Amino acid sequence: MANTFGHLFRITTWGESHGGGVGVVVDGCPPRLPLTEADIQPDLDRRRPGQSKIVSPRKESDTVQILSGTFEGKTLGTPISMWVRNEDARPEAYSEMAAKFRPSHADYTYQAKFGIRAWPGGGRTSARETVGRVAAGAIAKKILRRHYGVEVLAYVRQVQRIVATVDPEKVKAKDIESNIVRCPDPAAAQRMIRLIEKTRRAGDTVGGIVEGIARGVPPGWGEPVFDRLEADLAKAMLSLPASKGFDIGSGFDGILLTGNQHNDPFRAKAGKVYTTSNRSGGIQGGISNGQTIYFRVAFKPVATVMHEQDTVDINFKNTTLKARGRHDPCVLPRAVPVVEAMTALVLMDHALRHQAQCGQAISTPQTTSGIR
């Protein structure tokens, strides 16, 4: 089940970078929801390579096709299968990597585990695998928005040392999409774009932080022990290629405060409970508390750099490798829709799990489910 994620809203992704295509099977989607390719394509367009001068120039239209699970524009409750054809495969650019392992990529570990690997384009280690996640996530986002009033967003918070100023309570999708780096702070965005361009010209790569948020999640979603909501979010984010760190709410910075400073005081108004600060990041005891969920995901600088580096070949002989092919100088602008997708998948799964155990048919942002 290594390619499957989720319990009640469950996805299985498939495909390699230079195979016939990539796709996903979504099982557990509720029936009778309006769904066509037009609901999926916009998020795939935000993820696809070739979309701007600061991402991989690989030319893929990433046009999605729904193969099953819908009838006359509505979900059937049966497995929804979606796929995207690989159109711009160029295996010749990877021929040297057939015999040599890219430093800090997954070539060596796949070889060590499976004894075989689809080396063109990195096979399944390629971020093309995330096409399936984004397609499935678009369905989850639509259900969360329409039926639960939950809005899921992500944006670039930091590229190397350039940090944006963003208020997770107020940030809007249109501000995130207003520039090619997907940072809603316009001044920081311009500096980030210049840094990524400069780094690409030098044949190098940079990393940074994507912040994910979910607004309108009602109190009660999540589980108290092993499947804590933040644990499932952490797993979802650390399952992303090139992710290196996750923190939520006050995160690692919270250790600088005392408990008195750090606590989120409760207040009540018109029968609703809220907190006057949100260092918990919207989750307490593994369960959503009704405040905005916000967390950060660190992405490393892309491993494939255009510089000669020490490595070994498949016969374990020391050698060097100067990579070729089309690569992202920084994964962050394309990672934004992927972080949104994984957030939506976790929340959708927990919405159904909460409903299954606690019987809340449809929650609204105002519902204090479970509180009697």
Binding site for ligand FMN (CB under 6 A): 56, 105-106, 125-127, 130, 240-242, 302-304, 327-328, 331, 334-335, 338
Distance CA 338, CA 343 (A): 9
Q: Nearest distance from residue 87's CB to ligand FMN, in Å?
A: 17
CA 27 to chain centre: 19
The nearer residue to ligand FMN, 198 or 244, going by C-beta atoms, is: 244
Q: Nearest distance from residue 354's CB to ligand FMN, in Å?
A: 29
Cβ count near 73 (within 10 Å): 11
Q: Nearest distance from residue 227's CB to ligand FMN, in Å?
A: 23
Contact 245, 252 (CB under 8 A): no
Distance CA 237, CA 246 (A): 7
Distance CA 153, CA 172 (A): 8
The residues, ordered by sequence, that sit 6+ positions from 278 with a Cβ below 8 Å of its Cβ are: 249, 264, 291, 292, 294
Strand partners, 211: 155, 296
Q: Nearest distance from residue 202's CB to ligand FMN, in Å?
A: 16
Distance CA 178, CA 193 (A): 13
CA distances from 340 to 14, 25, 96, 336 (A): 20, 18, 35, 6
The nearer residue to ligand FMN, 217 or 331, going by C-beta atoms, is: 331
The nearer residue to ligand FMN, 105 or 353, going by C-beta atoms, is: 105
The nearer residue to ligand FMN, 202 or 371, going by C-beta atoms, is: 202
DSSP symbols for 35-58 = --HHHHHHHHHHH-TTSSTTS---
Hey, what are 51's tokens? 């979309």
The nearer residue to ligand FMN, 192 or 335, going by C-beta atoms, is: 335
The nearer residue to ligand FMN, 342 or 351, going by C-beta atoms, is: 342
Q: Nearest distance from residue 325's CB to ligand FMN, in Å?
A: 8
Contact 216, 365 (CB under 8 A): yes
Hey, what are 33's tokens? 């929801």
Cβ count near 147 (within 10 Å): 16
Q: Nearest distance from residue 205's CB to ligand FMN, in Å?
A: 8
The nearer residue to ligand FMN, 43 or 223, going by C-beta atoms, is: 43
Q: Nearest distance from residue 126's CB to ligand FMN, in Å?
A: 6
Q: Nearest distance from residue 367's CB to ligand FMN, in Å?
A: 35
Distance CA 150, CA 130 (A): 22
Contact 93, 326 (CB under 8 A): yes
The nearer residue to ligand FMN, 136 or 338, going by C-beta atoms, is: 338
